[in-house]
Amino acid sequence: MNTTNVRKLLFALVIGSFMNCIAYTSDLLQKPNPVDPATVTSKPKVFLKTSFKVVSNGNNMPVNVAFQNNWTNAIVGKAKNIGLFSEITNNEFATDYVLDIALEDNGEANQALAILTGLTLYLFPSTASDHFKITMTVYDGNGTKIGTVLKEEKVVLWQQILLIFGMPFYYFPSTVRETQDALITSTFAEAYHQGYFSKAKPKKK
């Protein structure tokens, strides 16, 4: 097979993968008003703590290092760029606030149906989902709990032949990235609007 034919085959496979899979969110995420950094008068120093839990079909699974690093980098990057904080410190004992962020990825999939989908060349449909939950608990520098924010969203992957008729369709990895960004942004914004980063401490939630 010459180079031109190889390129045509690869192109066809890529297009086919888009036509056979769509991903969408379940609209569980409640987004607060955006944060305008220009209106943030006091920007505290914060320390970030992260933890991760992965569940597949009801069973706890080992957390993949790449998965953990991906989410950690996204959380730290958003904290640096959202315009709410003066510094992301590495010293838990010299900070204004400690942000304890726990992420849970609850995946659901029917492996038998997924195999059947592949064997029938996507004629028989199958679905899989990832339900992401972020819980952020805010503590002051003395370790006193100030409040908690919970945000969640579910991403569903649907596999079936000729899903081009379901346009506009979205590639699964890009949908997950957008969901990740929206979850993290909404978590920080909600905590800000609840007053968890202000000196006048609100009641615990």
Domain chopping of the chain, boundaries: 3-193
Planar angle of CA 96, 100, 102, nearest 5 degrees: 160
pLDDT band at 4 (very low <50, low <70, confident <90, very high): low
Planar angle of CA 172, 189, 94, nearest 5 degrees: 110
Distance CA 151, CA 17 (A): 31
Mean pLDDT rounded to a whole number for the chain:
82
Reported CATH class of domain 3-193:
alpha beta
pLDDT digit string, tens, across residues 129-183: 899 999 999 999 999 999 999 999 999 886 645 544 444 445 567 888 999 999 9
